[in-house]
Every structure is written in C-alpha cells, then in structure tokens.
Amino acid sequence: MSLNDGQRDLLGEGGFETLCAHYAEHRLMHGGAVAPPLYQTSTFVFPDAEAFERRDLPQNPYFQYSRKANPTTRTLEAKLAKLERGNWARAFSSGMGAITCAINALTEAGTHVVAVANAYHPTRRYLEEYLKRFNISVTFVSGTRTEDFIAAMRDDTRVLYLESPTTGYFEVLDVPGLSAAARERGVRTVFDNSWASPYFQQPLEHGCDIVVHSATKYISGHSDVVAGMVVGRDAELGERIAREGELLGASIDPFAAWLLLRGIRTLSVRMERHQENGLAVARLLAEDERVAVVHHPGLDGVEQHELAARQMSGYASLFSFALKDQSREATHRFLDRLKLFGIGVSWGGFESLAIGGLLFNRDDTRGQWLIRLSVGLETRDDLVADVRQALEG
C-alpha cells in the first residue's frame, strides 16, 4: 500500500513528522496531487432535492457552506487534531476567534472563570471587560503557584484558562497539576499552546480539556496568515464548539487553511531551528553584563527550568529580557540599533522581530522595561552578531 493511499492516511501511523507530511491527505482521490486541493468556494450544490433535505443528517456526504465546513479546512482540522493528540479540531479566522469561541462554549451567565494573569492582553481584556456584560466573573491569578489557582476556584467556576509559558515573562505553570485539580472540581481547562506548538508540548496529554492556538504564529510560520485553532477530545464539547463557531462566524477562509497545511509540513524542522537560534541569542544576553535578566524557560539555572523540561520537549524562540539600564532611552537605543530584527508585533514567523515596553501586564509590579525578541530562522551567527552590536550601542 502506498503512502498516497487514503486508507494508510486513516491509520494515523508514524511519528510527528510523518503525520505532518501525510496524515489526513487523500491523494488518490485528487489525481495523486501531493499538495491538497484548495476548495476556494463559499457554497456547495446537492445532486437533488432529497439530498438537500437530508443535509443536516450525520450521514450526509455533501458539504453545504464554508462557514460551517469546507474540505480543505477539514484536512487541516484532522491533521492538527492528530498532532495535538485530540479527537477533533476546529479552525478559526484568528487566534482570538478560537479563544473567544472556546470560552463562550464553556460559560454561561452567573458562572466564573479562573485565569492566569499574564495572559495575552486581548484574551485578558475579553475575560475582564467583555464577559462582564454577560454576568460572568473572572479571577486572575498572578505568579505560578498551583495552590493560588486552586484557592481561586469556586463552586460556580467553569473554566481554568492557562498559558504556559505566560505572555511577557514566560513563566511556566505546572500544567498536569493544575488540570488535575480543575478536573477534580468539575472545571474545564483551556490552554493556549501557541508558544510551544504541538511539536514541543501537547497539553491534552497533560490533562487539559481544550487547546487553543494562534495558528498565526509557529503553525503558519511564514507571517502570511492570521488563523486560530481549537482542539479537544470530548465529542460533545467538539459539537458545542462547532455549533458556536458557526454562529459566531469567525470561520477560517479555505486559502488560509491551505497555507496552514503548507506551514505544518515544516513545523518540526522550523521549531528545531527556532529553538537553536533562540537559545543562542538568549545565552548571549544572559552572559552580558549589561543585561539584568533573561526570561527564557530553556536557560539552565532559570527558575522553573526543570518544570519546563518535564512538560515540554523543547523551547520556542520568543522570550524577553531587561537591560540593567532601565531607562526608556536605553531600551529604544537597543531596539533602534537592531538591523536584522524588525520592530513589530506578532511572532513565530521566519523573520526576527523585537518590541519593547515598560510592562507586559499591569498586575506585574516589577515595573521593568522589557524587550521581547521573536528569534527567526536567519543564520544564527548573524542573529547573535546583530544582538551583540545592538548591546554595544
């Protein structure tokens, strides 16, 4: 049986890279095309009126409308579900589309959410400002102590919302411990795995119920798509997410899904190189006397490095650091001297990016001027030389 055979795809054999290359692709159904077809269509037609009447039955073989489902998107969803060790996945038009849909599907008026304080800012704003309108309250927990998260859970808590490493300071949480504590209390854990990607971390294996992604980052890897994913195991939850996703309408465009499928082919090799380049730059900074602190969970000697190594098989290349000279001018000077790093938001792409600011989260009282680097896939020596010369300025 050849790898092109759809039956082989369905078996889901092989390691991570093999799954990236072949899983859920039905090549012989498409003239043997190695790249999956792009179904760039909004709607689909039925062979007759009876088939149309049966469109919502589970055995209906026809697609209806691309906000609901699309063959290209289905291939992406099947592949990502497999890579995250889930049973289903749903693709969205942005990470925020995925995150808000997952939270909405798990909450209702009068319920409560516990969330990590250093979450991605728009996620935090959604939890803090938007959910209030629906009488859903949120407790934010600063720091990494599992007991603080447990203490924040109440009888009406429905969701524990986590990121690890966290946004800004890249702190690592005890994911298996937290998700087990939540499960005991009937609370569902939603985990943003954009940083590690499924290549370095699989939160469903650590007991989380739902994984969300900004697929805009490493999954895409080429800074040409904005997209999101929700992945899980529980079938009823999967149906709820699909229903809410269809109503809220943040569905992915088929071309964006096709670009993500292309990005996934090289996810493992990109992540390996991101890890090497990121650690090389982080080590240079950690050894430099002008640097006060480097927040990178992969550095030896960094608090929580052991915990990080236990639950992740490697490290992405987004991290932050603070200069000893805590003036706005010194931070701006460093950023402005960089030549290979563009000054810009987002991360996880092939290109290196940098931003700087006083605080990454208002709960944090450290008040540091932090610089965040997203280390790309350029030649490692060039990246290290660029950061060195920027420090020298």
Burial pattern 24-47, b for ≥16 Cβ within 10 A else e, equals bbbbeeeeeeeebbebeeeebeee
Q: Based on CB atoms, which residue is closest to ligand PLP, 25 or 216?
A: 216
Considering the complex, what minimum distance in angstroms separates the CB of residue 61 from ligand PLP? 32
Ramachandran region, residue 221 (left: φ > 0; alpha: ψ -120 to 50; beta: rest) = left
Which helix (H) or strand (E) segment holds residue 22: the answer is helix 16-22
> Hey, how many other C-beta atoms are within 10 angstroms of the C-beta on 335?
16
Q: Based on CB atoms, which residue is closest to ligand PLP, 96 or 159?
A: 96
Residue nearest to ligand PLP (CB): 95
Considering the complex, what minimum distance in angstroms separates the CB of residue 71 from ligand PLP? 23
Q: How many CA atoms lie within 13 A of 181 on its CB side?
A: 20
Q: Based on CB atoms, which residue is closest to ligand PLP, 14 or 342?
A: 342
Considering the complex, what minimum distance in angstroms separates the CB of residue 198 from ligand PLP? 15
Considering the complex, what minimum distance in angstroms separates the CB of residue 326 from ligand PLP? 25
Q: Based on CB atoms, which residue is closest to ligand PLP, 214 or 311?
A: 214
Give the CA distances from residue 214 to residues 79, 265, 268, 314, in Å, rounded to whole numbers and listed in that order.
16, 17, 17, 19
Q: Based on CB atoms, which residue is closest to ligand PLP, 94 or 157?
A: 94
188 φ/ψ angles, rounded to the nearest 5 degrees: -90, 135
Residue with tokens 């990236």: 20
Q: Rule CB under 6 A: which residues touch ligand PLP?
A: 94-96, 120, 163, 167, 192, 194, 214, 216, 226, 228, 346
Considering the complex, what minimum distance in angstroms separates the CB of residue 342 from ligand PLP? 15
Considering the complex, what minimum distance in angstroms separates the CB of residue 180 from ligand PLP? 23
The C-alpha atoms of residue 66 and residue 49 are separated, in whole angstroms, by: 20
Query: What one-letter code names the amino acid at 151?
Result: A
Q: Based on CB atoms, which residue is closest to ligand PLP, 212 or 285?
A: 212
